[in-house]
Each structure stands twice: as C-alpha cells, then as structure tokens.
Amino acid sequence: MTGRTVAEKIIGRAAGTSEVRAGEVVEAYPDLLMSHENTYLVSKAFRELGVKKLYDPDRIAIVLDHRTPANTVETATAHSHIRKLVHDSGIKRFYDVGEGICHQILVEEHLAKPGQLVVGTDSHTSTAGAVGAFATGIGATEMAGIWATGFLWLKVPETIRIHMRGHLEKAVFPKDISLHLAAKMGPSRAEYKCIEFDGIFLFDVSISGRMVLCNMATELGAKAAIAPADSTFSTWSPEHCGQMGHTCKSDPDARYCESMELEVERIPPMVSGPDKVEAARPAEKFEGIRIDQAFIGTCTNGRLEDLIAASWVLKGNKVAPGVRLLVAPASRDVLSTAMDMGVIQTIVAAGGTILPPGCGPCLGAHGGVLGSGEVCISSGNRNFKGRMGSPDSEIYIASPATVAASAIVGKVTDPRGWLTVDL
Amino acid sequence: MTSSGRVWKFGDDVNTDLIIPGRYLSRYDEAHLAEHAMEGLSESFAKEVVQGDIIVAGRNFGCGSSREQAVMALKRAGVAAIVARSYARIFYRNSINLGLHVFESDDAYDAFPDGARVSLDPIGHALTSLDGAKTAQLKEIPHHARKILDSGGLVPHLKGRFGEK
C-alpha cells in the first residue's frame, strides 16, 4: 500500500479512520469552524434546524471583517445580531469590528494549527494551509449543519504537488509566484483538488508568504492548499510545534495526481487583469496603463511584510496627483506593529490613506468602491468584473511593491526600478 | 418532477461576482438578490427569467466567493436547474444544500443554443428540446448529495435525520 498525502491523513483523522484515500466520501468532524459577517446567514439556517445547542461552541471562531465598520443599517443590524448570538451561545472566539481579516486572525491568533481540519464560510479559507492545516471554504447553510451536528461530508481530494526550487529575484514576491501559477494553470486546473507546496524554496518563504500561496490557490480552483509545517513553522510558533504529529507531512511514497516543478528564479514581477486572474503577465507588459486607485491590503497581501515592502518603495516619494492610495492592514496587530516601525508614517507621508483593519474595498461594498470607467491596481486576489464597484471599472492585481510603485507613477509600473534593496 | 423552460446559456468560469456582486450583499433579502441575478453578464436575465428556466453553462460555473447568495439569487429568480460542464466546488455544495438541482453534462453545452425550449427529467438524467430533436445526457448526482437534494436541501435533510433518532 502506498503512503498517504497530508490531505488524506488530516481528513482521515477528522473522520475517525486512518485509511481514507483520495476519492472516498467521508463524514468528517472539523477542528475549527470560522465564519464572518455571513454568520448572520449561518444562524438563520441554524434556527431553521430547530436545534437548541451548538455541537461545540469552542470550535467556533467568528470574525467581523467584510463590511466593517458597518456600511449600512442592514449590516449594522446583522453585526448586532451576531454579537447577541455570540454572547448567548457562549462562543469565546469572537473578533469584533477592527480586529482584522478572518484568515489573518486564524493564523495570527494560532487558532488554526498543523494537522487540523479547518472549514470557513469564505472561499479563501485555504489561507490557513500556511500552517499545515487542511482548510477549505463552505457555504453558510453547510456551516449551520456543522454547528448542529459537528460534521460535514467531504470528498477526500487528490493532491497536486508543486515542487519549488531557486530563490526569488529582488522585487519579486510570493504573490508573483501565485500570478505566474494562475497564468500557467488557469482558474480550474485544481478544481476539487488539494495543492501541496514543497521543495527547497519553501524554506525561504515566511508564514506570511505561505499564506499568500495558499490563499491564491483558490484562484486555481483548489479545494485546499497546504505548506506542511516545517522548521519555518516551528521557529515562528515554538509553542505550537509540539502538536505537530505524523499527520502534518505527506509520506515519501504518497500518491499525487500531478507533480509540477517550478523554478522560481525565472519569475518576474507579475500583474493580472482585468476581469480574469489567469490574465497574468510580466508587469512590464502592463506598463503605461493609467490608474485612479491603488489598494494595498486584503487576506492575500495586507500583512506586515507587505506594508514594509510598500513603504520601502514609497519612502521619499509622493503618490501621483489624481491617484488615491488606500492601505488596509490585515489586522490590528499588523497596524500596531507597522506603526511602531514607522511604516504607517511613511505611507501617510507619501500621501496614502489608512483604512481600518478588515477586507476594505476588495469586495466592493464600501471603503473605496470604484466609479464607472475607473481603474484600480490592488494587492487582492480577484479582479473579476464589477467586483470593486462599477461594472465599467477595471481591476489589476499585483504584489504590494508593484501597487506602491504604480501609485507613485500613476500608471501600472514594474517595481524593480523602485525597490533595489533586499527585504 | 419534469420541468420545462427556456435555456439561458453562459460560458466558462462564470464567477460569483457576475452572478451577484458584493455591492448587493449588504441586504439580506432574496427578492432583492433575484432582481440583480446575473447582472454582470446579461441585462435581460433578471427581467425575463421565469420559473422553470434552465441555465446551461461551460466549465467551472460559480467560481469565486463562497457567498450562498449566488445560489439564492438564481433560485429565487426561478431557475429550476443548472446544467454545466463542471462547477466550482463551493457553489456546487451550496446548490445541493439549498435544494437547487445542479447537473454535470459533457454534451448539453453544444446541444442547446441560448433561448432553446427544453424539458428536464432529473430522474432520467436527460435534458431534451421540446420538439424532441435533441437530448443531452446528464451525469448522475453523487449518492450522498442526491439524498440531501431529495429532501429539498440540507436543513430539511438534517431535520429528517434528527427525526429518525
């Protein structure tokens, strides 16, 4: 019998059996259940179920991040409803307006751990794969079912292994790798599958960078993405490395449906857009496209490393006249540390506007929506038509350094001329 | 169980921002969602779709966000079923959980033009033109999902399971 992938091990453990294989359907009990504003819909479906008690309130984490502070009366009412529910049901892990983005909180607060099965009512739940968890997105009604019963049905996915070698060049970041993969693989190559990142390059990649790779795997169609917990993880989180068991790594003879080799040295700064994430090409091919707004933030690229990269580009420069630079740190902790380091001061001095920690304008609900005919370059994960506002606006996505360089020039700009130091 | 209606045809990678953009999600009102269904792709869909109509699409239907409102908007607008080459997995699960029939089919996309009148036989797994000239085979819905769908969605399915205990 061949060995097992990390996905097979984690789902098998959560289903109470050690022998599950890709293709099998199991009833699995997730270790962590995350929801955000759509907790409102979860609780509505939960009430319809007629169940009085939560299966286990200690597995639940709720983070308000999508429309924070509230953008409408309806949102404010939904927030109030969620606060009452949290209070009445004894849910302890609640993160109110301003604490940060759900995917950031799960990792930053060490709620997601290696070897865990994590489900969240958000498609970018895959982000928690950065700490060696199998983390996947589900809908609100499905979450209500898990609140009540503790389990959901899951098909054990096949795994695509992406083996990465080499070192990134200056001004090139994990986001550029993700956009390179999007161009190469398209939006559905990993449909129903798990992506496992490995190779010598992974040692170069911080937890923050791994979060980018796992987050963007959703744009390849992946069900989950995992960077197995290794020495980088144990250095980052010594107090949690003791929980790393045999479930955290694939066996050497595990079966993959596909293995890809990726030489990261050849990847230049990338830009993608408009309308399709797979419309990604080297940044220099987009140079000259005029922008109205530059946005740095989101669950993909709103972390400390990202703000630092942007501030190094912005230092001593000014945002181009007529361009709005918006920056939403991924969490209160990111904001606070960035203030201590002078990063926020640099961004503000360059003409940037700091938004509250949260999703910001990424989903087009508030905090910097786009008008008709406007163009935005964003460090987010999606450039779908109309996502950030008017259906007649355009979104390009790129790394925070590329977004910052573009903000200074007022046009999409390759950051290599602007970021000459090693971070 | 057989239903008939008009085919609304869409291509590959129809994402959730095209089905229902985030700017409409601040209101928790299904009728409001239905009024804006598919707005990113079609100006006429939300105005003209009627109960029993069927969406025929290409690969990776419903990719993007986990927003269940994408399914709610289509269901409330009257869509009886979706027949696509493949689905993004969260959209597929959401559809099953909310009781919207979602079938995979390799040949439906090429068989029917936009506006075709068709009848759907969910038991016989066939989509047939009303004149009987063309039929596309639909793949069987996996057993565990079929059970949820047959109950009308996850909420009635689980209530049934609680009742058995």
Full residue range of the structural domain in which residue B132 is found: 3-164
Minimum Cα–Cα distance from A189: chain B residue: B60
| Nearest residue to B95 (alpha-carbon basis) of B149, B23, B140 | B149
Does pLDDT of B133 surpass 80? yes
| Beta-sheet pairing, A224-226 with A194-198 | parallel
Residue of A nearest to B59 (CA): A188
DSSP 8-state code for residue A389: B
Nearest Cα residue to A246 out of A260, A258, A259, A229: A229
pLDDT at res. A351: 98
Give the pLDDT score at A419. 87
Bond before A252 cis per omega within 30 degrees: no
Size of interface A-B (CB pairs under 8 A): 123
Q: Is B90 on the interface with A (CB under 8 A)?
A: yes
Task: Indicate if the pLDDT at residue A3 is higher than 70.
Answer: yes
The pLDDT of residue A239:
80
Task: Read off the pLDDT of residues A43-70 as tens digits, 9 standing for 90 and up.
Answer: 999 999 999 999 999 999 999 999 999 9
Asked whether the beta carbons of residue B40 and residue A41 sit closer than 8 angstroms, the reply is no
What is the set of domains in chain A, with CATH numbers? 7-243+250-264 (3.30.499.10), 271-417 (3.30.499.10)
B129 touches chain A (CB under 8 A): no
Residue B56 CB neighbour total at 10 angstroms: 27
Chain B CB contacts of A123 under 8 Å are: 64-66, 90
Min Cα distance B150 → chain A (Å) is: 16
Secondary structure element (H or E) that encloses residue A348, with its range: helix A343-349
Question: What does the pLDDT look like over B96-111, one tens digit per residue?
Answer: 999 999 999 999 999 9
Closest CB to B64: pick one of A72, A123, A369. A123
Interchain proximity B68–A38, CB inside 8 Å = yes
- Using a CB–CB cutoff of 8 Å, tell me whether B60 touches chain A: yes
pLDDT tens digits, one per residue of B16-74: 999 999 999 988 899 999 999 999 999 999 999 999 999 999 999 999 999 999 999 99
Quick one: pLDDT at residue A248? 80
B67 and chain A: CB distance < 8 Å anywhere?
yes
Q: Is A414 in a helix, a strand, or coil?
A: coil
Evaluate whether A183 touches A280 at the Cβ level (below 8 Å). Answer: yes
Its pTM stands at 0.97
Which residue in B32, B68, B157 has the most chain A C-beta atoms within 10 A of its own C-beta, making it the best mutation to test that interface? B68
pLDDT over threshold 90, residue B162: no
pLDDT per position as a tens digit, A149-192: 999 999 999 999 999 999 999 999 999 999 999 999 999 999 99
Nearest-10 crossing angle of helices A304-314, A207-216: 100
DSSP per residue, A267-295? ---EEE-SS-TT-EEEGGGGTT-B-SEEE
For chain A, the average pLDDT equals 96
Rounded to a whole number of angstroms, the distance from the CA of B121 to the nearest CA of chain A is: 26
- Which residue of chain A comes nearest to B98, CA vs CA? A141
Mean pLDDT in chain B? 95
The first and second tokens of residue A84, run together, are 């009452």
Q: Do A384 and B22 touch (CB under 8 A)?
A: no
Asked if residue A241 has pLDDT above 80, the reply is no
Q: What is the pLDDT of residues A283-320, one digit of tens each?
A: 999 999 999 999 999 999 999 999 999 999 999 999 99
Q: Is B159 on the interface with A (CB under 8 A)?
A: yes
- Kindly determine whether residue B60 and residue A49, on different chains, have CB atoms separated by under 8 Å: no
Say whether A141 and B155 touch across the interface (CB within 8 A). Answer: yes
Q: Is B13 on the interface with A (CB under 8 A)?
A: yes
Chain B: nearest CA to A370, how far in angstroms?
A: 11
Percent of chain B whose pLDDT exceeds 90: 91
CA-based nearest distance B48→chain A, Å: 21
Is residue A137 scored above 60 in pLDDT? yes
Residue A247 confidence (pLDDT) above 80: no
Min distance A24 CA to chain B CA atoms (Å): 12
Identify the CATH number of the domain in which residue B150 sits: 3.20.19.10
Please give the order of strands across the beta sheet that includes A280-282. A280-282, A270-272, A394-398, A375-378, A293-296, A324-327, A352-354
B63 touches chain A (CB under 8 A): yes
Q: What is the predicted pLDDT for the residue at A244? A: 58
pLDDT score of A246 more than 60: no
Whether residue A202 has pLDDT greater than 90: yes
Mean pLDDT computed over A16-31 = 94
Q: Positive or negative CA dihedral for A139, A185, B21, A70?
A: positive
- Per DSSP, the three-state class of A163 is strand
Q: Give the ranges where A139-190 is alpha helix by DSSP (H).
A: 140-149, 174-185
A49 contacts B98? CB cut-off 8 A = no
DSSP letters spanning A218-267: GGGT-SEEE----HHHHHH-GGGGGG--GGGS--TTB--SEEEEEEGGG-
Q: Could B66 and A391 be called an inter-chain contact, meaning their C-beta atoms sit closer than 8 Å?
A: no
- Within 8 A of A188 by CB-CB distance, chain B residues are 13, 59-60, 63, 86, 88
Q: B29 phi and psi, to 5 degrees?
A: -145, 110
The distance of B144 to chain A (nearest Cα, Å) reads 8
Burial class (CB in 10 A: 0-12, 13-18, 19+), A50: exposed
Domain count within chain B: 1
Q: In this complex, do A74 and B28 lie within 8 Å of one another by their Cβ atoms? A: yes
Amino acid at A305: E
Q: Give residue-wise pLDDT tens across range B41-52.
A: 999 999 999 999
- The answer to whether B60 touches B49, Cβ cutoff 8 Å, is no
**Which chain A residues touch B42 with a CB distance below 8 Å?**
none
Least confident stretch, A179-183, A215-219, A417-421, B103-107:
A417-421
Mean pLDDT of A63-79: 97
Q: What band does B163 get if pLDDT is binned at 50, 70 and 90?
A: confident
- Cβ proximity of A372 and A231 under 8 Å: no
**pLDDT for res A245:** 59
Give A-chain residues touching B65 at CB under 8 angstroms.
Answer: 122-123, 363
Q: B88 and A221: CB-CB below 8 Å?
A: yes
What is the bridge-based pairing of β-strands B135-137 and B126-129? antiparallel
Q: How many residues does chain B have?
A: 165
The residue in chain B having the minimum alpha-carbon distance to the alpha carbon of residue A27 is B144
Angle between helices A140-149 and B89-97 (to 10 degrees): 70
List, edge to edge, every strand of the sheet that includes A93-95: A93-95, A60-63, A32-35, A117-120, A134-137
Which residue on chain A is closest to B23 by alpha carbon? A365
B121 contact A CB<8A: no
Contacts of A363 in chain B (CB under 8 A): 22, 25, 65
Query: Comparing C-alpha atoms, which of A325, A192, A213 is closest to residue A267?
Result: A213
Find the CB nearest A139 among B39, B68, B159.
B68
Task: Mark yes or no for CB contact A137/B66 under 8 Å.
Answer: yes
Model pLDDT, residue A175:
98
B93/A140 touch (CB, cutoff 8 Å), yes or no: no
Question: For residue B110, what are the CA distances in angstroms to A241, B56, B80, B119?
Answer: 53, 10, 20, 16
Q: Supply the pLDDT for residue A421.
A: 67
Q: Is B57 left (phi over 0), alpha (psi -120 to 50) or beta?
A: beta
Tell me which chain B residues have a C-beta less than 8 angstroms from the C-beta of A78: 28
Mean pLDDT of A234-238: 87
